[in-house]
Amino acid sequence: MKPGSSRGLGMRLVVVFSLIATLCALAFGYYVSQARQHVGADYTALVTDVVRAQQDPAALRMGLDSMIDHSDRMHLEQVHDVLWRIPRRIESVKRQLRGSELVPASYEQLFEELSYVESRLPALETAVDRVPEEGLDEADGEAILALGMEIEEGLAWAYSELNEQLHQASAEQRVLMGRLTLAVALLLLMLLLAVGAVMLMLLRLHRQRETMRLQSRTDELTSLSNRRWLRETAEQAFEWRRRHGTPLSLMLLDLDHFKRINDDFGHPLGDAVLVTFSRTLERHVRRVDTVARMGGEEFAILMPDSDLAGAEALAGRILRATRAMPLPGPAAHRRLTVSIGVVEVGDEMGFDRLYSRADQLLYRAKESGRDRVVTERDQVSAAPDTDGADRHDGMGITQQPWAGGS
């Protein structure tokens, strides 16, 4: 698994979650602003008409008093103007009440009172029309004033009750909108939490999948590639070689007498030696090379763009590094060596054939005394003897001291 794979997915999920959270915040802000405007606007027009209508009873009383004292044309026109305005105000208020959110039962009695007032207006208008220019006598004036007060009191009571109901309804609506706003906020928060949970689950699933993928191609003890991943990598390397004609080499390595370490010091210390040897291999290879543990104490290195000479040079460095590698704990006095077989891809078209050739050379290195590199040049390169003498492998092939590159 690439180190940045889960981190990159996590960053993308964070960006997506941030965008969703921003959109939710903007939507909630827009909803709150619109809700406040609607709460304020629902009853604004109706309250305005009621406030204006509440002025009509006072205006009627003032006009009637002035008309009774001075029954001239100006005062008569003032009274007629109020009497003309009152039924229109009543009709406007009734129309808005029917279109409001108020329950009809709450204003039914008000409708009856306003309807009664409307029914009394024609009588008052007739009485006003009959007022002589020379003025009213006391009896007629009291009759008109009594009728006017009846209308005034009906209007004042109806509009006062209606105004109180509107303020109460507006307050209840504000409370309702506050609760609704809280509910919307909670829903958005739950949505964000759900989205976050889904994204977190996706990230965990991705990490689990990558972990399983890593485990399926990684050796558990050494964290090197395993046999399966080496084979997949080799197939890609073969395809690259076929396209571009570049060299490709394979190295098989087997630690010498490793069983003795397990027998003498136990498997935990043997495992520690394998891990140390794995880190040694990783320090000496290139980034393009693939180091794999094939099983037990056997390892492999696949080397793209490397011919046999380059692979031999790397094998020589690994030989020397293995001899110099300190062993842990009670095995510190021991010296570890490794046998190596190296091949370069020839005419074969698959990994199995290449691996078989390398395995034969590794076996030959083991049979020839270990601690050496064997290639298909039929020459076994080993560590120099202290006396510099040549050695024989028992197969009729002269084994020269190691003379590969550094």
Alpha-carbon gap, residue 270 to 297, rounded angstroms = 9
One domain for residues 339 and 380: yes
Write the CA distances from 3 to 6, 9, 16, 86, integer angstroms. Answer: 7, 11, 21, 82
- Average pLDDT of the segment spanning 322-332: 92
Confidence band, pLDDT 50/70/90 cuts, at residue 383:
very low
| pLDDT at site 14 | 75
| pLDDT at site 320 | 96
For the entire predicted model, the pTM comes to 0.52
One domain for residues 238 and 192: no
Reported as a single tens digit per residue, the pLDDT across 87-136 is 888 888 888 888 777 778 877 888 888 888 888 888 888 888 877 766 66
Residue 81 has pLDDT above 80, yes or no: yes
In a domain, 320, yes or no: yes
Handedness of CA 85, 86, 89, 90 (dihedral sign): negative
Please choose, from the candidates 271, 259, 367, 405, the residue with its C-alpha nearest in 3D space to the C-alpha of residue 327. Answer: 271
One domain for residues 161 and 276: no
One domain for residues 189 and 263: no
One domain for residues 237 and 178: no
| pLDDT at site 234 | 93
Alpha-carbon gap, residue 298 to 44, rounded angstroms = 88
In a domain, 382, yes or no: yes
In a domain, 162, yes or no: yes
Reported as a single tens digit per residue, the pLDDT across 205-239 is 878 777 777 767 889 899 999 999 999 999 999 99
In a domain, 16, yes or no: yes
Domain end marker among 197, 213, 241: 197
CATH number reported for the structural domain that contains residue 176 in this entry = 1.20.120.1730
One domain for residues 282 and 378: yes
The three-class DSSP label of residue 336 is: coil
Confidence band, pLDDT 50/70/90 cuts, at residue 36:
low
In a domain, 393, yes or no: yes
Reported as a single tens digit per residue, the pLDDT across 165-199 is 877 877 777 776 777 777 777 877 888 888 888 87
According to DSSP, the residues that pair with 338 across neighbouring strands are 255
- Average pLDDT of the segment spanning 144-150: 85
Confidence band, pLDDT 50/70/90 cuts, at residue 268:
very high
| pLDDT at site 305 | 94
One domain for residues 248 and 179: no
Share of the chain above pLDDT 70, in %: 83
- Average pLDDT of the segment spanning 241-265: 94
CB 151 within 8 A of CB 121: yes
One domain for residues 176 and 256: no
Positions marked active-site: 297
Number of independent structural domains in the chain: 2
CATH number reported for the structural domain that contains residue 307 in this entry = 3.30.70.270
In a domain, 263, yes or no: yes
Domain end marker among 150, 180, 197: 197
In a domain, 347, yes or no: yes
- Domain residues for the domain of 120 are 5-197
The overall average pLDDT reported for the chain is 81
In a domain, 220, yes or no: no
